[in-house]
Chain A
Amino acid sequence: NAGVTQTPKFQVLKTGQSMTLQCAQDMNHEYMSWYRQDPGMGLRLIHYSVGAGITDQGEVPNGYNVSRSTTEDFPLRLLSAAPSQTSVYFCASSTSGGPYEQYFGPGTRLTVT
């Protein structure tokens, strides 16, 4: 089992550029989530999905889009990158039954200049 994989590991974007962060899991988890982690802010939920075809907004969704066409994949799209989106992004998947523990990917470090 690879668990949760994310690509790329590092990315530098210019303001206004768009890109997609890839996330895949091989644990057949229904729930998948995207978080961003900033110094002093902890983990903040961007978007999540409870199954293929179903997505919803988290705490900080603005500037990001998601879709879930398969159980395995949950890409995060930055529509028009801004310096405020400089962060470390983590994808996670979780079980549908309690305790809902998250299995995290290795993260993508994004810098927007």
Chain B
Amino acid sequence: QKEVEQDPGPLSVPEGAIVSLNCTYSNSAFQYFMWYRQYSRKGPELLMYTYSSGNKEDGRFTAQVDKSSKYISLFIRDSQPSDSATYLCAMSSRIQGAQKLVFGQGTRLTINP
């Protein structure tokens, strides 16, 4: 079983829809939860991160973490064609003095005008 599971999609929705992207994980040692956005033929870039359970909002984006269920989500409100990209979840912690970072497989999202 992978430490981080993410539905690869692809996911296609109309412009203006609310998008929900999700990841589950198995390692309870993870402390930080991140979402990266990767446009076609570009490197991933950090979108936002959270440290604890709960919600964090940044404009049209909301990251949600439920540590009890080992489940994280990214919501995109009023989705725009410019949001079309691959979204990767990532989780990190410090284990035995070493940094550990694990990525999900990525979900390809298309917003249709």
The interface bits of chain B over 2-18 (1 if a CB of A lies within 8 angstroms of the residue's CB, else 0) are: 00001010000000000
Task: Decide if A53 is an interface residue (CB 8 Å cutoff).
Answer: no
| Size class of the B contact interface (CB-based, 8 Å) | 20 to 34
| Size class of the A contact interface (CB-based, 8 Å) | 20 to 34
Task: Decide if B49 is an interface residue (CB 8 Å cutoff).
Answer: yes
Question: Does A99 lie within 8 Å of B51, measured CB to CB?
Answer: yes
Residues of A within 8 A of B43 (CB): 4, 90, 92, 104-107
Q: A98-B31, A99-B32, A99-B51 are in contact. Are A40 and B105 (CB under 8 A)?
A: yes
**Cα-based distance from A106 to B90 in the complex (angstroms):** 19
**Cα-based distance from A42 to B106 in the complex (angstroms):** 6
Residues of B within 8 A of A106 (CB): 42-43
Q: Taking the nearest CB of chain B, how far is it from the CB of A68, in angstroms?
A: 15
Residue ID in chain B nearest A100 by CB atoms: B92
Q: Find A40's partner among B8, B90, B99 (CB 8 Å cutoff).
A: B8
Question: Does B105 lie within 8 Å of A50, measured CB to CB?
Answer: no
Q: Find A99's partner among B36, B44, B45, B49 (CB 8 Å cutoff).
A: B49
The interface bits of chain A over 80-113 (1 if a CB of B lies within 8 angstroms of the residue's CB, else 0) are: 0000000000101010101111111111000000
**Cα-based distance from A90 to B44 in the complex (angstroms):** 9
Q: A43-B103, A99-B32, A102-B36 are in contact. List 18 more A-B contacts (CB 8 A).
A: A40-B105, A42-B6, A42-B105, A43-B44, A43-B106, A50-B98, A90-B43, A90-B44, A98-B92, A98-B94, A99-B51, A99-B92, A100-B32, A100-B94, A102-B46, A104-B45, A106-B42, A106-B43
